[in-house]
Amino acid sequence: MNIRLAERELKTKFGNFREILYYDGQSESIALVTGDVEAQENVFCRIHSSCISAHVFNSIECECREEMETSQSLIEQKEQGIIIYLEQEGKGNGHLALMASIEHKQAGLSQSEAYKKAGYEADARSFRSAAEILTELKVKSGVLLTNNAKKAVDLRNLAINVADTKELKN
């Protein structure tokens, strides 16, 4: 079960967010919140997994950075929304898996197939913490900011009311 450990005001180039750090006894997750979300419907929600390559090394091989920036921008424009950042590199397989999968990806496989070929799960991510945090924030329903429709299915399976999804275009 995720509990709140700390809160602060975070200034970003898109605007200010309330940053809330959660801990479930194993890993930390962070929620960036703008506006009043409690008991609100159609709250913009972005569930974002860590990506060292994009966020630290400015990699141009994936869309993680653009998706984070677009999400922050959309949420600040709407003056309401939540970004949940989960520590799960390489679709939950870890950064080693990502590096080990690259040769298969370069040979033409999708990222999921490349993980499998390298001996990892196609997608080992869990959205349980995200679901717990959305519940703790008392969001009534959300519009999921994602280019991956399966994420809405995963969250609905965790009893989260996903009213709609919105694609993130660059």
Determine whether 123 is an active site residue. Answer: yes
The tokens of 141 are what? 């329903």
Determine whether 4 is an active site residue. Answer: no
The tokens of 77 are what? 């424009």
Q: Is 92 left (phi over 0), alpha (psi -120 to 50) or beta?
A: left
Catalytic residue selected from 8, 36, 125, 128: 125
Neighbours of 124 (CB within 10 A): 14
Q: Which of 21, 64, 109, 122 binds Zn ion (CB under 5 A)?
A: 64
Q: Which stretch binds Zn ion (CB under 5 A): 57-65, 82-90, 147-155, 161-169?
A: 57-65
Nearer to Zn ion, 62 or 107 (CB): 62
Please give the C-alpha separations between residue 67 and each of 55, 114, 121, in angstroms, as whole numbers: 11, 22, 23
Q: Which stretch binds Zn ion (CB under 5 A): 25-33, 64-72, 87-95, 108-116?
A: 64-72
Question: What is the smallest separation between the CB atom of 71 and Zn ion, expressed in angstroms?
Answer: 14
- Answer for the pair 143, 151: CB distance below 8 angstroms, yes or no: no
Catalytic residue selected from 8, 36, 46, 123: 123
Q: Which residues bind Zn ion (CB under 5 A)?
A: 51, 54, 62, 64
